[in-house]
Amino acid sequence: MANDTKMWGGRFTESTAASVEAFSASIQYDSRLYRQDIAGSKAHAKMLAHQGLITDDELEQIVAGLSEIEVEIEAGTFVFRPELEDIHMNIEKTLSEKIGDAGARLHTARSRNDQVNLDTRLYMRDVTAEIIDLLTGVQRSFVGLARKYLGAVMPGYTHLQRAQPVLISHHMLAYFEMFGRDKERLADGLKRINLCPLGAAAMAGTGLPIDREFVARELGFPASTANSMDTVGDRDFIVEFCATCAMIQVHLSRLSEELILWSTEEFKFVELSDGFCTGSSIMPQKKNPDVPELIRGKAGRVVGNLMAVLTLLKGLPMTYNRDLQEDKEPLFDTIDTVSQSLGIMAELLANMEFYTERLATATSGGGYMTATDLADYLVLKNVPFRKAHSIVGQTVAYCLEKAKDLTELSLQELQQFSKVIEDDVFAILSVEGSVNSRVSLGGTGIVRVTEALERAEKMLEAKG
Ligand code: ARG
């Protein structure tokens, strides 16, 4: 007697162990692919009818039945059965129960191996566009900040030591670039996601007269995958996507680190709005930057998910192996975590304020941040750079000893270190002089930053 509870039960005489049923089911998480599964099945059925493998009447019944199922799932009335393992068999079995024989013809020339690959690609195609939009949202917040604070200065750091004065807008637009690269990476990955795998069947293709290009067109794919064996075992596009998302979350984490530092009493460069902070249950005075902390913390799981998928693939022989079912949880967790983090970060940034006066004081007072400008000044007076570097080093040492800033030295004091120094030196020792002298391509001079800002604004406008 066959195991009738299973769609593949024909060759089995005993029923599946309960422990195995629970162990192998993926419906708890792959049910989120229902819309893609239904769209894929409709396209497949259309092709079967077009090729004369099912009748037009059967096609109609299949399409209507699938639409009904979609409505039920969306209404929350559909009963997912773990004994049917996954989303594919839950939908197919219910369809057969609804429409009988026509439903039993749907799986003609198809395997769950190409089906699950299709569903995942369709899902990721949409998600890729959504995450690109979320990245644009973060960029929009940065551009907003860059516009709002155009002209205001802040200390620029290397080694987390004050290095050179920069414009706040320059710092904001640095993040604009960073997240822009993430968008490019996602768009590039989409080329490899956006191929139709259906028709690879179990792994070797099929002898039935199918038309793969028909299905591809029907689902809006520009082309089909090439090799049936590669197709059903391929999850490279998931690895790439998870890698890009890991990069995004790492970028968010670096940004979070800055926001956490900047909102401390020690820095006090920014004020995060109350809506994005939480208090302490014991210390009434506290306002904690939990949101950036959580985003920073979540980088751990997103990077971990990438490792999980890579490790999953390592050692798998061609072609499909059930191991591959394990790709979904890390993928979905990555999508959820990155999407949530990007959305909330965009909002947090849009509601953040810089303490411009404190930043101006931090930039001019202490740190000798215009020391490089003095060296460059000497270079323009024909002093070789290495010599200039040493002269300025000695000048800074003198300042440290006298507890003075570079701007507080008299011309005479400066001339002790180099005779070529003249009255015009004071203009370049000021913060403003320093910032605005940096007009090299990509530099922090206001002319360059204004150009960059306008370019960024145009890019965002074009995207709507
Ligand atoms: N739930 C399965 C997965 O996610 C679908 C494919 C199952 N294929 C099979 N031959 N058992 O991978």
Q: How far is the CA of 336 from the centre of ligand 1 (A)?
A: 23
Q: Which atom of ligand 1 is nearest to 320's Cα? A: 10
Q: Which atom of ligand 1 is nearest to 327's Cα? A: 4
Which H or E element spans position 154?
strand 153-158
Q: How is domain 9-108 classified at the architecture level of CATH?
A: Orthogonal Bundle (1.10)
Residue 216 Cβ contacting ligand 1 at under 6 Å = no
Residue 364 Cβ contacting ligand 1 at under 6 Å = no
Q: How far is the CA of 118 from the centre of ligand 1 (A)?
A: 12
Contacting residues for 307 by C-beta, under 8 A, at least 6 apart = none
Residue 41 Cβ contacting ligand 1 at under 6 Å = no
Three-class SS state of 364: helix
Residue 116 Cβ contacting ligand 1 at under 6 Å = yes
Residues with catalytic roles: 159, 280
Residue 231 Cβ contacting ligand 1 at under 6 Å = no
Q: Which atom of ligand 1 is nearest to 26's Cα? A: 1
Report the amino acid identity of residue 27.
Answer: I
98, 68 contact by CB (below 8 A): yes
Residue 203 Cβ contacting ligand 1 at under 6 Å = no
Q: How far is the CA of 281 from the centre of ligand 1 (A)?
A: 48
From 30, 112, 120, mutation site for ligand 1 pocket: most ligand atoms within 8 A of C-beta? 112
In the chain, what are the domain boundaries? 9-108, 113-355, 362-462
Report the amino acid identity of residue 298.
Answer: K
Q: Ligand 1: which residue has its CA nearest to atom 4?
A: 325
Rounded Cα gap, residues 163 and 168, in angstroms: 14
* Cα angle, residue 418 at apex, residues 417 and 424 outer, rounded to 5°: 115
In the DSSP assignment, the letter for residue 407 is G
Length of the chain equals: 464
Residue 374 Cβ contacting ligand 1 at under 6 Å = no
As a three-state string, the secondary structure of 209-259 is CCCHHHHHHHCCCCCECCCHHHHHHCCHHHHHHHHHHHHHHHHHHHHHHHH
Torsion of CA 352, 353, 359, 361, to 10 degrees: -150
- Fold (topology level) of 113-355: Fumarase C; Chain A, domain 2 (1.20.200)
Question: Can you give the pLDDT at residue 365?
Answer: 74
Q: How far is the CA of 89 from the centre of ligand 1 (A)?
A: 10
Which H or E element spans position 163?
strand 161-167
Q: How far is the CA of 15 from the centre of ligand 1 (A)?
A: 19
Report whether the peptide linkage leading into residue 319 is cis, meaning its omega lies within 30 degrees of zero.
yes
Global confidence as pTM: 0.94
260, 296 contact by CB (below 8 A): yes
Q: How far is the CA of 121 from the centre of ligand 1 (A)?
A: 15
Question: Can you give the pLDDT at residue 245?
Answer: 99
Q: Which atom of ligand 1 is nearest to 116's Cα? A: 5
Q: Which atom of ligand 1 is nearest to 87's Cα? A: 1
| Tens of each residue's pLDDT in the chain, 464 residues | 678 778 888 888 888 999 999 999 999 999 999 999 999 999 999 999 999 999 999 999 999 999 999 999 999 999 999 999 999 999 999 999 999 999 999 999 999 999 999 999 999 999 999 999 999 999 999 999 999 999 999 999 999 999 999 999 999 999 999 999 999 999 999 999 999 999 999 999 999 999 999 999 999 999 999 999 999 999 999 999 999 999 999 999 999 999 999 999 999 999 999 888 888 888 888 889 999 999 999 999 999 999 999 999 999 999 999 999 999 999 999 999 999 999 999 999 999 999 999 999 999 876 788 999 999 999 999 999 999 999 999 999 999 999 998 989 999 999 999 999 999 999 888 898 899 999 999 999 999 999 999 999 999 999 76
Residue 113 Cβ contacting ligand 1 at under 6 Å = yes
Q: Ligand 1: which residue has its CA nearest to atom 2?
A: 325
**CA distances from residue 347 to 134, 139, 274, 342, 343 in whole angstroms, order as listed:** 11, 11, 12, 9, 7
Q: Decide: residue 205, CB within 10 A, 0-12 exposed, 13-18 middle, 19+ buried.
A: middle
Residue 26 Cβ contacting ligand 1 at under 6 Å = yes
CATH class of 362-462: mainly alpha
Phi first, then psi: give them for residue 301, nearest 5 degrees: -75, -35
Residue 86 Cβ contacting ligand 1 at under 6 Å = yes
Q: How far is the CA of 326 from the centre of ligand 1 (A)?
A: 10
Question: Can you give the pLDDT at residue 464?
Answer: 60
Phi first, then psi: give them for residue 353, nearest 5 degrees: -125, 145
Residue 110 Cβ contacting ligand 1 at under 6 Å = no
Residue 107 Cβ contacting ligand 1 at under 6 Å = no
Rounded Cα gap, residues 318 and 404, in angstroms: 71
Q: Regarding beta strands 161-167 and 353-354, do their DSSP bridges make them parallel or antiparallel, or are they unpaired?
A: unpaired
Q: How far is the CA of 91 from the centre of ligand 1 (A)?
A: 14
**CA distances from residue 85 to 9, 31, 122, 186, 394 in whole angstroms, order as listed:** 13, 10, 21, 31, 75
From 116, 313, 326, mutation site for ligand 1 pocket: most ligand atoms within 8 A of C-beta? 116
Exposure string over 318-329, b if 16+ CB within 10 A, otherwise e: ebbbeebbbbbb
